[in-house]
Amino acid sequence: MTVKLALLKSGEQVISDIKELVDESQKVISLVFENPYVIQFLTAELLYEGTDVDNQGVDHKVSFQPWIPLSSDKTIPVSTDWVISIIEPLEWIKKSYEDKMNLSTQGIVNQNLPIGPKNEESYSNVEVLSE
């Protein structure tokens, strides 16, 4: 799995198993996001001035939400011109994402989340994590 964090032109930060779709001349024609999730901070991002502040005690929390929640597709092609940058996510975010993907492939879901129509779990892909 090649888990990366993509910053899109829309400002969304999407974590996904990202692959390149290439043509016969090895030119990248599209990116493919597999199991993409949008990551959002739930804690305030703070900027400190000076060297007196110990920033290590800050407990960051993020949420993972399906990137396109109304689609049943788990593999989504993305135009390369919509991606600003693809980077390595922080290790704790990457591990949380991989753990979530491993649990979902084993059929384990979070029972504390809302249930949708016909008792299907419509928000099973939302999770709050902390560092």
The per-residue pLDDT for range 75-124, each reduced to its tens digit, is 999 999 999 999 999 999 999 999 888 877 666 554 333 323 333 344 44
Tokens coding 89: 């996510």
Which residue, among 21, 14, 4, has the nearest Cα to 90 in the 3D structure? 4
Q: 3-44+59-130 maps to which CATH number?
A: 2.30.30.100
Where exactly are the structural domains of the chain? 3-44+59-130
Pick the range with the lowest mean pLDDT from 10-14, 21-25, 112-116.
Answer: 112-116
Estimate the share of the chain in helix, then strand, then coil, as percent rounded to the nearest 5.
20, 35, 45
The predicted model scores a pTM of 0.70
CA distance linking residue 111 with residue 78, whole number of Å: 32
CA distance linking residue 102 with residue 105, whole number of Å: 5
What integer best gives the mean pLDDT of the chain? 78
Q: Which residue has the tokens 């390369």?
A: 80
CA distance linking residue 37 with residue 14, whole number of Å: 5
Q: What is the DSSP letter of 105?
A: H
